[in-house]
Amino acid sequence: MAATRLIALHENKGRTLAKCIGERTDYAMNPDKTENGTYVTSYACDPKTVCEEFTLSKREYEQITGLKRTDNVIAYQIRQSFKPGEITPEEANRIGYETAMRFTKGNHAFIVATHTDKKHIHNHAIFNSTTLDCSRKFRNFWGSGIALGKLSNIICMENGYSVIAPAPYHSKTTYIHEDNGPSFRDKLRESIDIALSKKPKTFDDFLKELSAQGYEIKRGKHVSVRGNGQQRFIRFRSLGKGYTQDELIKKIEGVAKGADIKKDSVPFYRDDSFDLLLNLQDIITKGKGPGYEMWAKKFNVKNVMKAILFFQEQGLRSYNELEKRAGDTSERFSKLSADIKAYEKRLKEISELRSNIITYGRTKDVYADYRKSGYSKKFFAEHKDDIMAHKAAKDSFNKHEGKLTSVKELSIEYDEVLSKKKAAYAEYKEVKKNMQTYQTAKYDIDQILGISGQQKENKEREHTR
């Protein structure tokens, strides 16, 4: 689990550019924090001369572009903190390097320094605000921090590490601070989630799972637990919604009941009491094993990770819910498509009817004179277009159902229908995008769980009966 933050590093007043860069990079590469520089890596620069190289690039930028720096941003820092005990310094540095490379797209020189002096291993990745060719500067776009967090999550899951647990299963998002790790209650909630993902059949089995994670169990009317470093026991009821003893027992009983379902019945992952997201993350965090390697080779890992992140961001916790949303968006898309076609059809009808009414009124006197002439061939030849237009308009009225309305009323209706069409089309584009996203996520998660294969197997079994 990596918590990330993008920090703009500024040039301070009263200090030279070189001194400001040097202070930031020296702190990041502090030998006492990086085990004598063992965990310092770099791209397109030398850690020993990074200060001079960054400073020189600023001068070259001004010479190449002819522009003076209008802001005091000299570099950017990616702060990336990992869950205590989950990752080694070597792996953390490699993850940090990959994160910096993919975030900057290889266009900016950077160093990655992994600090091991805290309980949680964390990276300080500092990249130059000026590009390698010194022709441009990094644009700190709107939502860049969110984009960085998503990228970090994808990279962590691609490498078999967990990501930050989302609300609503936690009272707040658990970020690891530089000095303070997650609270004991945050850790306990996470441990409970892991224990539940093992699908214990009874509450006692669940407590054994917690005990295996190093928790001391205190039984009584209200069961409480104590982890390493805790002074006091924590009762489940103090953990908030979803974590009380009664709720946990109901959840466990629901899972146990689901486990007894026959193979031909609804699959276990469709049980609403089963937390699909936690199970998916459990698959990932177990990583490095034969199972992980098998499906990592079989499927597009990046698409799978994006699907899981989307699943997490939308607050989806069960397969049924995902399936329902995918179905709902598809139905809404079909309904809007039908509505838009109906609006377009009505607009065409109104337009034609309005045009025919106007044409009928404009050619009415000409046709009356044609009748008075005894349908003279000479008169027809002279006024052929108006006479034919009048007859066509009259024929359309005969086919029209109901009473004809005025041009004014038709114009009002036309504006109303057009307004409805515009509103429907605006929603149509949004729903279409959501439908594609949900269906793609569902497809990718189906691949992880082997749902499509199971459905095919069930159909084949039915066919042979």
> Which pLDDT value is given to residue 199?
80
Residue 238 CA from chain centroid, whole number: 31
**How does 129-148 read in b/e, with b if 16+ C-beta sit within 10 Å?**
bbbbebeebbeeeeeeeeeb
> Which pLDDT value is given to residue 260?
44
- Rounded to the nearest 5 percent, the helix, strand and coil shares of the chain are 60, 10, 30
Cα 273 to Cα 252: distance, rounded to the nearest angstrom: 8
Nearest of 217, 269, 272 to residue 245 by alpha carbon: 217
What count of other Cβ atoms lies within 10 Å of the Cβ of residue 23? 14
Cα 399 to Cα 349: distance, rounded to the nearest angstrom: 12
List of E strands, 83-186: 110-115, 122-128
Task: Record the pTM.
Answer: 0.52
Cα 440 to Cα 435: distance, rounded to the nearest angstrom: 8
Nearest of 70, 80, 66, 64 to residue 131 by alpha carbon: 64
DSSP letter (8 states) at residue 11: P
Domain ranges of the chain: 2-158, 176-274, 323-459
Cα 192 to Cα 169: distance, rounded to the nearest angstrom: 11
Greatest CA separation found in the chain?
112
Digit-coded pLDDT (tens) for 20-61: 999 999 999 999 999 999 999 999 999 999 999 999 999 999
Digit-coded pLDDT (tens) for 259-289: 443 444 344 444 444 455 555 556 555 544 4
* 298: Cβ contacts below 8 Å, ≥ 6 apart: 447
CATH fold of the domain at 2-158:
BirA Bifunctional Protein; domain 2 (3.30.930)
Helix (H) / strand (E) element for 104: namely helix 89-104
> Which pLDDT value is given to residue 214?
85
**For residue 168, cis peptide bond before it (omega within 30 degrees of 0):** yes
Residue 334 CA from chain centroid, whole number: 24
Distinct helix (H) and strand (E) counts, the chain: 15, 8
> Which pLDDT value is given to residue 229?
77
Low-confidence ranges of the chain (pLDDT < 70): 1, 162-183, 197, 255-308, 312, 317, 444, 447-465
- Token representation of residue 378: 């000479």
Q: Is 176 exposed, middle or buried (0-12, 13-18, 19+ CB in 10 A)?
A: buried
